[in-house]
Amino acid sequence: MKVSIYNLSTTDPAFNLAAEEYVFEALPRDRAYVMLWQNDRAVIIGKYQNTAAEVNGPYLEAQGIKAVRRLSGGGAVYHDMGNLNFTLITDAKPGGKVDLALFCQPVVRALARFGVQSEISGRNDVTVEGKKFSGNAQYVREGRVMHHGTILFDSDLSVVQEALAVKAKKLAGKGVASVRSRVTNLKPLLPPGTVLEDFRRVLTEELSRGGESEICSWTPADVAAIQKRQAARYDCWEWNWGASPAGTLKKSLRVEGCGSIEVIMSLEGGCIQSLVFQGDFFSTKEPAELAAHLLGTPLRASALLEKLKGLRTGDYFKGLNRKDLLQLLL
């Protein structure tokens, strides 16, 4: 089968995910497609996950890190410029079954060429010495499969822990929580002097093995079509946050001078459907009144701030300011 290869130079996660969708849905189905790409700092959310339960919202906002939902299932992953992403689009197996291991083999072969032994582990990981460096996911539709994976080459692993911190939160309902694993970067394991572009070249060769390959680039019409999909889906809060499955979040916060506050809220369409505050705090107004006031509000900083205008947070939780309340809710 002919293989068209796209080496994306863009680092906008919303554009790159839109490009995947465009190639999958709009380009000719008479060939396979390989895409290699990098994202600026972002958390990429699985289709069936509840974004609010997967990310440290205040941290992402403070650091300017985007949260973008993809078309495929699986868990949330952190991307930065030390991370390499790959996509393989081709015909699916009869019956449209998901076969993650098959599409992880090129990664194993690429590493072997550098003298590094790796193995496919669990349902969708590739590991070295028991440490994960690659997570993978698939989207199958109408006889075609889009397999994409992320490879930690030289990523800032400290940010991974902060961006995906969910220690104080529990999700119940239909949202799927990510499983945290021991992770590692590949760079320290590769021969000295190996840079990301070296690995990118070898991986491209392995992904396109067995086919007549050609290097392609976007036409102006391609870019316009991708940007249209980006604006309609991947740039939208309604997709990245609001499309989260219905579920219940339980979060807590202890603030000096206030005490401990626990919040239990149910979300649907990214909006607060029910809200309960409990804890050992003091108040001069009933927190239930504030909870009722916030019903129907999107779980989004700008929407919450607008809703809280004119209200004194300290009336409901003595010693708590608006910033701390937002931290608790988000």
Domain ranges of the chain: 2-240, 247-329
Matching residue, tokens 């465009």? 22
* Structural tokens at position 48: 């069936």
Q: What is the pLDDT of residue 98?
A: 65
Q: Could you say which of 3.30.499.10, 3.30.390.50, 3.40.190.10, 3.40.50.1820 is the CATH number of the domain covering 247-329?
A: 3.30.390.50
Helical packing angle, 322-329 and 301-308, nearest 10°: 140
Domain 2-240, CATH: 3.30.930.10
- The span from the CA of 32 to the CA of 23, in Å, is 10
Q: What is the pLDDT of residue 280?
A: 84
111 contact partners, CB below 8 Å, separation of at least 6: 117, 118, 128, 186
List the one residue out of 57, 65, 2 whose CA is nearest residue 31.
Answer: 2
Name the band, by pLDDT with cuts 50, 70 and 90, for residue 1: confident
Give this prediction's pTM.
0.80
Mean pLDDT of 82-88: 96
pLDDT tens digits along 3-48 = 999 999 999 999 999 999 999 999 999 999 999 999 999 999 999 8
Q: What is the pLDDT of residue 250?
A: 87
* Structural tokens at position 218: 């976007």
Which one is predicted more confidently, 27 or 210? 27
Q: What is the pLDDT of residue 168?
A: 39
